[in-house]
Structure formats: C-alpha cells, structure tokens
Amino acid sequence: MPRKTAEIRNLIIEWLGHSSIGIYGKKIIYIDPFSPVLKGDDKKANLIISTHEHADHFDTNAINKLSKDTTCVIIKSGCGKNDLSSKVIVEMQINKAHIINEIEVKAVHAYNTKRFRSPGTPFHPKGFGMGVVIIFEGVNLYYAGDTDFIAPMEELKNQKIDVAFLPIGGTYTMDVDEAVEAVLAIQPKAVVPVHYDYIKGTEADPLEFREKVEKQSETKVLIL
C-alpha cells in the first residue's frame, strides 16, 4: 500500500512507520530507519541520523541498506559504529551542531521524566539519546526522538520550526496529551505524529491528537 507523503516547500516528507522518517529534496535524509518498515526499494541516502542505540532506532542493517559510499551517518555518541559500512560517521553530543553537505544538524535533549523501566531507571535517561533540529533547503525540522515533554523543548519556539515529528504512543515516550503540550510550547507550523501503533503499548489515536492540537493552536497536524 503506497505511503502518504506531505510536501513542505521543496521537500517531501514521509513517515515510513514506527519512528522512521524519510525527507526528500536535493538530497535524501533518513532518521531512525528501521528494517521492518522499509519498502525494499527505498532510495539511497545522503545522510542518515540515528538518535539512540535502541534497536528500533539504531538498526545497522537498515542503515547499511540505505547507505552508499558517500553517505554520512550521524549517530548519538554511545552507539556502536563497528557494524556500519559507511566511511563517514559523525558521533554527536547534545547541543553540538554539524553541517553535512549543506544540511545543518543540531543535537538536542531527549529523555524521560515520567516513564521508567524500573523504579528510578527511565527507559531513556538524560544524555542517552537525542532529538535533532535539521535545517535543510531553508526548512526547519525538529525530530524529537524518544522523549517525554521536557523543559528544553520550550527553547525550540525560537527556532521557528516548520515541521515537528513528535511521538504520541506513551509507555516509552510522551502520549497524546503530552505531545499536545509540546506542540503548544514549540509552536511548529506543522506536526507529524510518530512512534505509535507499532510496538505493543504504543497504541494511540492520531485523530484525537489532531483534534486537540488544531483546537488549541494554529499548528496543522499531518497524519501520514
């Protein structure tokens, strides 16, 4: 079944499934590609970003399948890189930025404050993973990664985000209501809900998310 895409100025954005995103313009970017949601005929990437080392976000088979000789792979520091075929690997720390092939990528915080593997042990501790702000062909994109609604998101309002990709599934990330809070704080022009209805425990209703967001803000919700 064909996937639905959205056009943002000169870019085409696509939710591949789970937390995997494709961004297509003069260059091709994938964020957190995951083998089970790839089509098999996906275009090779210029840039691949992996936000943390959990297997559904740092899938080396998917990364290698989408890579060519010149592909740059950006990984959160801490991810193992020995199984990556790319010759260009950049390890990122929070609040650091890189410009790769005229694409600016900045790592921002992504962590849990409410969701715990066991008492005192969050699924995503502070510093473990990252979100990213990407500036590509004049479009400002924000991919939140696996995170709750956290205070640093308030600062993103100043980034004038065109499209935000926010998890809504709960259990491991923020749920619908927290994602709405994030939208109100960040004030993106558009938001794409992700990280729902794939892994058990992440069931969520994107239509509920859209209704709540568009009732309280001017942000457009793109359900892909």
pLDDT value for 181: 98
- Whole-angstrom Cα distance, residue 198 to residue 107? 25
Among 12-21, 109-118, 169-178, 181-190, which is the least confidently predicted range?
Answer: 109-118
Number of domains in the chain: 1
**Average of per-residue pLDDT across 111-119:** 89
Amino acid at 83: D
Whichever domain contains 193, its CATH number is 3.60.15.10
pLDDT value for 129: 96
Confidence of residue 212 (pLDDT cuts 50, 70, 90): very high
**Average of per-residue pLDDT across 68-75:** 94
What integer best gives the mean pLDDT of the chain? 95
Are the C-beta atoms of residues 146 and 52 closer than 8 Å to each other?
A: yes
- Whole-angstrom Cα distance, residue 178 to residue 176? 6
pLDDT value for 117: 85
- Please check the confidence at residue 1 and state whether its pLDDT lies above 60: no
- Please check the confidence at residue 2 and state whether its pLDDT lies above 90: no
Could you tell me the sign of the dihedral formed by the alpha carbons of 165, 170, 173, 179, in that order?
A: positive
- Whole-angstrom Cα distance, residue 142 to residue 140? 7
| pTM for the whole structure | 0.96
pLDDT value for 87: 84
- Whole-angstrom Cα distance, residue 72 to residue 100? 8
pLDDT value for 116: 79
The parent domain of residue 155 ranges over: 5-221
